[in-house]
Amino acid sequence: PLELIIMYGGYQSTKQNLDPVYSQIIDYVTKGDGSGKAYKNLATFVDRFGSRKVGTQRLEDAISHLVSELESLGSLKVHTESFSFEGWQRGAESAELVAPLSKRLPMLSLGSSVGTAAASDSADGSIEADCVVVESFNELDRLGKAGISGKIVVYNQLYKGYGVSVQYRTDGASRASKYGAVAALIRSVTPFSIGSPHTGMQEYEPGLPVQIPACCITVEDAELMHRIYKRGDKVRVRLRMSCGSAGVQESRNIVADLEGSEKPQELVVVCGHIDSWDVGQGAMDDGGGAFCAMQSVRTLLEMGLRPRRTIRLVLFSGEEFGILGGNAYYERHKAELADKISFMLESDSGTFGPIGTTCSGSEATRSAYQQVLNLLEPIGATTLVPSTDGPDITVWAKSGVPVGDLLTKRAGQPDDFYFYFHHSEGDMMTVQDPAEMDRCVAAFAVVSLALADAAELLPRGISGASAGEDGLLSDWVLV
């Protein structure tokens, strides 16, 4: 295919009339024969396999299915890479408010949590205790051991953005355990709720004397219990969780290469994660990202466009349980690939309407990369945000590889619309929109082809460095 004019410190390679191929890609995906394919393929996939928690046979069957599909295309080099991990299983679970009234509490155990049986004196393995309800860790600390020992801590933290509020989910059980709590119930980390709990990982502090059960409850029930508690009435809960370790398990990352015609050893990586939580369908997190990345490679094949560098599709497994596949891939390939990857682009924050991407690296990196993003002006996706986002690939930034995450937004909805559905039963195919997914596919395809056909890899440089400080010019010229 056509190439870019790219200038680094005086080096120049010239080809003319570049823009048409990228416009053709966008038109093919959004208006032509490629439109609607990502949505259709994702719907077929999630309707067949449903949720895909790492460690389950369902996920492994889904991985095998995708490997077969990719191999059937005939032009990709496809393989899987296995990794081992300590598994976790959910089991039967329930929560009930028993005083001052009886009410079922929808809940979801948090990943890595212990169950209730070890501390139970009931035949069914449940525990029952009075509750204290707090809005912050500061309030928890003020109550101390005297106010918390032997009780269930309910966190009714306000939503102040996912990055701020998620600490109550990840750290809440450990913080409560230090004061003698017997369990922790955490308000779901979401800005909007219709009676649905949102799960996720929690982490026990190393060396914690007692690990206590942890689960998420709905926003509505956290607020209900807080209102009752503030009136001075007793809040009492019965909790049953049979979750726990599943022993050592194994899963696989999928790697598929569209081999480059001139520099096959150099890579542009497009990726997402194929596992999900065990609720909903995982259509948004991260089925959409995985399938848009995959469809971008299929689009280039369908259009007969072969890149100069290899475009590598990676579908990671185990992201939801601690970036398992992403970290395994990095450890396996960092020495071999750190100086051969031009850019890694992930989508794991929704496939709504694309508005741009993040980009790590120096100002020189970002200035060069902005020229590529400008090719996405027809779909309004030219915004560049300096960041090392992209959970499975962030670690590569430590090795100097530029990484980015696709930025998307649903028109007319708030910026955190994604977290309405995140890790909940609401993460169903209904969330997705075919036209939005098409534009995400176009973004992946244009960015990956432009970088794969560039004369040189994206400039590295120290993160935060100004253009020119590392001896690299930052003006990529697209003609």
DSSP assignment of 252-292, as one string? EEEEEEE--SSEEEEEEEEEEE----SSS--IIIIIIHHHH
Considering the candidates 3, 93, 266, 319, report the single residue annotated as catalytic.
319
Exposure string of 335-355, with b = 16+ CB inside 10 Å and e = fewer, is eebeeebbbbbbbbbbbbbbb
**CA separation for the pair 479, 477 (Å, rounded):** 6
> What pLDDT is recorded for position 469?
41
> Comparing C-alpha atoms, which of 295, 417, 293 is closest to residue 350?
417
What integer is the mean pLDDT of 249-253?
99
Q: How far is CA 222 from CA 140, 173, 235, 340, in A?
A: 15, 16, 11, 50
**CA separation for the pair 294, 297 (Å, rounded):** 5
What integer is the mean pLDDT of 87-115?
99
> What pLDDT is recorded for position 19?
73
The distance between the two most distant Cα atoms of the chain, rounded to a whole number of Å, is 77
Instruction: Assess contact for 52 and 58: CB atoms under 8 A.
Output: yes
Q: How many residues does the chain have?
A: 479
Exposure string of 370-405, with b = 16+ CB inside 10 Å and e = fewer, is bbbbebbebbebbebebbbbbbbbbbbbeebbbbbb
Neighbours of 479 (CB within 10 A): 10
SS3 assignment, position 214: strand
- Helices 57-72 & 37-49 angle (0-180, nearest 10): 150
Question: Side chain identity at 443, as an amino acid letter?
Answer: A
Tokens representing 5 are 């004019």
Q: Say whether 425 is catalytic.
A: no
> What pLDDT is recorded for position 16?
40
**Tens digit of each residue's pLDDT (9 = 90 or more) over 293-338:** 999 999 999 999 999 999 999 999 999 999 999 999 999 999 999 9
Whether the CA torsion 273, 275, 276, 282 is positive or negative: it is positive
> What pLDDT is recorded for position 461?
67
Residue 254 has pLDDT above 60, yes or no: yes
% of the chain residues with pLDDT over 70: 92
Distance of CA 237 to the CA centre of its chain: 33
Q: How far is CA 174 from CA 51, 213, 374, 399, in A?
A: 28, 10, 46, 32
Tokens representing 143 are 């109550």
> What pLDDT is recorded for position 1?
39
Residue 18 has pLDDT above 60, yes or no: no
Where do we find the tokens 């004196």? Answer: 121
Q: What is the value of pTM for the model shown?
A: 0.93
* 286 upstream amide cis, omega within 30 of 0: yes
What integer is the mean pLDDT of 417-440?
99
Q: Which tops the pLDDT comparison, 479 or 201?
A: 201
List of domains in the chain: 6-87+248-452 (3.40.630.10), 91-242 (3.50.30.30)
Residue-averaged pLDDT of the chain: 94
**Tens digit of each residue's pLDDT (9 = 90 or more) over 186-226:** 999 999 999 999 999 999 999 999 999 999 999 999 999 99
Where do we find the tokens 């999928």? Answer: 254
Q: For residue 174, what are the contacts with CB-CB under 8 A and spacing of at least 6? A: 203, 204, 205, 208
**CA separation for the pair 349, 390 (Å, rounded):** 9
Distance of CA 434 to the CA centre of its chain: 20
What integer is the mean pLDDT of 29-39?
99
> Hey, which residues does 258 pair with through a beta bridge?
311
SS3 assignment, position 352: coil
Residue 467 has pLDDT above 80, yes or no: no
